[in-house]
Amino acid sequence: MSESQAGATCPVKDLESNTPDSPALTHFRLPDECQDDARPAFRNREAGVEYWVFTVNAVILDGLQHPDKWSSSFIMPTDPERPYKWIPIMIDPPDHAKWGQVLAEYFSPGRVKGLREAQQKLAAEFVDQLVSDGGCDFVERTRACSRRQSSSR
């Protein structure tokens, strides 16, 4: 964001998702619908918590590159005081960088590329079984896949 933009106002669209009478999955659809109307950001209210959602890639990048202005921590509106953190997503510098160094080898381009074949095989098995069964309980099925992957390590 340039200095001339810093004092400028931007469109604000208030969005309250996950109200008690909201149809299932509304909280996914509403933000998607807001993005075209609320650029570069909109403010969301959920479970008594207000937070900003950036909708333009350049603004998202600017926010991530300026931790002195924006926190890269992550909130769960329905559980804002949770006793755990997803590392490194929910932490700010300097701890974020320390964890990034520890985790870098696990997420390097070469390491991720090396997992591609196994990931494609697992996805193909999942889809084949889904077709064969005619459907599934997605949460239970992915949990089973996760357990199978963990035990094969």
The residue extents of the domains of the chain are 3-70, 109-151
Q: What is the pLDDT of residue 148?
A: 55
Assess whether pLDDT exceeds 80 at residue 122.
Answer: yes
- Does the pLDDT at position 124 exceed 90? yes
Distance, CA of 78 to CA of 27 (rounded, Å): 12
Q: What does the pLDDT look like over 40-68, one tens digit per residue?
A: 887 777 667 777 778 888 888 888 888 88
Which among 31, 54, 51, 41 is positioned nearest to 11, based on CA atoms? 41
Contact call for residues 81 and 73 (beta carbons, < 8 A): no
Based on C-alpha coordinates, what's the Rg of the chain?
20
56: nearest Cα among 79, 86, 35, 78: 35
Residue, of 26 and 56, whose pLDDT is higher: 56
Other Cβ atoms less than 10 A from the Cβ of 40: the count is: 20
DSSP 68-112: TTS------TTSTT-S---TTTT--TTHHHHHHHHHGGGG-HHHH
Q: What is the 3-state secondary structure (H, E, C) of 37-67?
A: CCCCEEEEEECCEEEEEECCHHHHHHHHHCC
